Amino acid sequence: MEKIIELLEEHNTWRKKCINLIASENTMSPYCEKYYVSDLMHRYAEGLPFNRYYQGLKFVDQIEDLAQKAFMEHFDADFVDIRPISGTLANFAVFSALADRGDTIMNLGIQGGSHVSHEQAGAVGVLGLKSYALPFDEVNLKLDLLKIEEKILELKPKFIVMGGSVITFPQPIREIRKICDQTGTKIIYDAAHVFGLITAGKFQNPFEEGADLITASTHKTFPGPQGGIIIGKNINEKLQKRIQSKVFPGVLSNHHLHRIPPLYLALREMQEFGDEYTSQIIKNAKALATALDKAGFDVLYKDRGFTESHQVVVNVEKQGGGDPIAKKLEEASIILNKNIIPGDTDNPSKPKGLRIGVQEMTRYGMKEEEMQKIADLITAVAIENKDTTEIRQTAEALRNQFQKISYCLG
């Protein structure tokens, strides 16, 4: 057997044994996977439906048009682009449509939860934009609205990116919208992590609160194929066309057509099962956070109930830091990631925190009882320093009980 095939099979077997708590991942349903592999994998489509640069797309045009209209209707939007093949490329297209090289923008800052694409190290820096972090109150662990108003009025940024990579609670879009109205500043809500929660009506609705555009990934709390999406409401046709041109030919050519049927089907699944699924996600996140807190971990945002999303954020500085703890947990078949948290000033590769997400294990049917068991396993590794071989056997035995995906069609 070819080595690469052997490695792939080993990976597939291993990950089905693991308790996956990566906050940026999920698993498509078998129904969606069935329509992920098709002839569309081999085809090319530059441009928009019914206005292409290639022939052979008479069915593709209809498929993409139906999917796009389904998202527009669901979000009561006047603009949707499902072509970005990642959330980062969705951000890249929107950022470049709203600002030119040398312009000023604002974001949450890495400590406030922004994604790397919002920062100088990512798309913002590549585009030559000047970025400033929204002032953050590190004592109360939330945005400082008084200082934010001063900064927005001073800097007059072209746009502000909210949402982000670490997002446990709704953010003050309404309040910031009132300030931005004075400066003509657009608000982009990066819903990559909470897109599924928003789709099901279980998180803040960015449009209702004043956001101009939503960018998102389609594979986190929204359990579709990996990819990106841009949604706009009350934006003029000129800006719509500018964003479309930044998607193609700006940041991509073909947009991986095989993603589109399962993307549409994932939306159908969320329309039918999303209320139950996302409600359980939030219950599980709260249950896990509470159990970890009782076990002695420093779980952030305790005074606010820990979380209202799929994420739990833990300061494990006392246990040795995010990097070594994440590695030890992987040895025990518990997969999560180290993460910068508010107050981190050290090397970002060795942060104090862990970011935990429960959306994938929830989709496999785990509930509050299993969250307690997972907390016990994490405690055994990170606080009690038990042998990871022994804990791995227990973790894999638990995971083995949950192999069938729930909340899905077919």
| Distance, CA of 34 to CA of 127 (rounded, Å) | 38
Whether 90 has a pLDDT exceeding 70, the answer reads yes
Overall average pLDDT of the 49-65 stretch: 96
Q: How buried is 236 (Cβ within 10 angstroms: 0-12 exposed, 13-18 middle, 19+ buried)?
A: exposed
**Tens digit of each residue's pLDDT (9 = 90 or more) over 361-384:** 999 999 999 999 999 999 999 999
Q: Find the helix packing angle between 388-400 and 322-331, rounded to 10°.
A: 70
Whether 1 has a pLDDT exceeding 80, the answer reads no
pLDDT at 385: 96
| Distance, CA of 394 to CA of 123 (rounded, Å) | 42
What residues does 52 pair with on adjacent strands?
47
Average per-residue pLDDT for the chain? 96
pLDDT at 349: 83
pLDDT at 198: 98
| Distance, CA of 127 to CA of 113 (rounded, Å) | 21
Determine the Cα angle at 245 with ends 240 and 250, to 5°: 140
pLDDT at 318: 96
Q: Which helix (H) or strand (E) holds 149?
A: helix 145-155
Task: State the virtual CA torsion across 123, 128, 132, 133 in degrees, nearest 10.
Answer: 10
pLDDT at 345: 75
pLDDT at 337: 97
Tell me the whole-structure pTM to 2 decimals. 0.97
What fold characterizes domain 30-265?
Aspartate Aminotransferase; domain 2 (3.40.640)
Choice among 53-57, 341-345, 396-400 with the minimum mean pLDDT: 341-345
> How confident is residue 410, by pLDDT bands cut at 50, 70 and 90?
confident
pLDDT at 98: 98
pLDDT at 282: 98
The separation between CA 7 and the C-alpha centre of its own chain, rounded to angstroms, equals 28
Q: Computed from CA positions of residues 62, 226, 375, 201, in that sequence, does the dihedral angle turn out positive or negative?
A: negative
Whether 261 has a pLDDT exceeding 70, the answer reads yes
> How confident is residue 46, by pLDDT bands cut at 50, 70 and 90?
very high
**Tens digit of each residue's pLDDT (9 = 90 or more) over 204-259:** 999 999 999 999 999 999 999 999 999 999 999 999 999 999 999 999 999 999 99
> How confident is residue 42, by pLDDT bands cut at 50, 70 and 90?
very high
Comparing CA positions, the residue from 371, 243, 384, 373 lying closest to residue 310 is 371
> How confident is residue 348, by pLDDT bands cut at 50, 70 and 90?
confident
pLDDT at 140: 82
**Tens digit of each residue's pLDDT (9 = 90 or more) over 293-314:** 999 999 999 999 999 999 999 9
Domain-by-domain residue ranges, the chain?
A: 30-265, 273-400
Q: Which CATH architecture has domain 273-400?
A: Alpha-Beta Complex (3.90)
> How confident is residue 346, by pLDDT bands cut at 50, 70 and 90?
low
> How confident is residue 355, by pLDDT bands cut at 50, 70 and 90?
very high
Q: What is the DSSP string of 52-71?
A: ESSSS-HHHHHHHHHHHHHH
**Tens digit of each residue's pLDDT (9 = 90 or more) over 163-202:** 999 999 999 999 999 999 999 999 999 999 999 999 999 9
> How confident is residue 386, by pLDDT bands cut at 50, 70 and 90?
very high
pLDDT at 139: 80
pLDDT at 92: 97
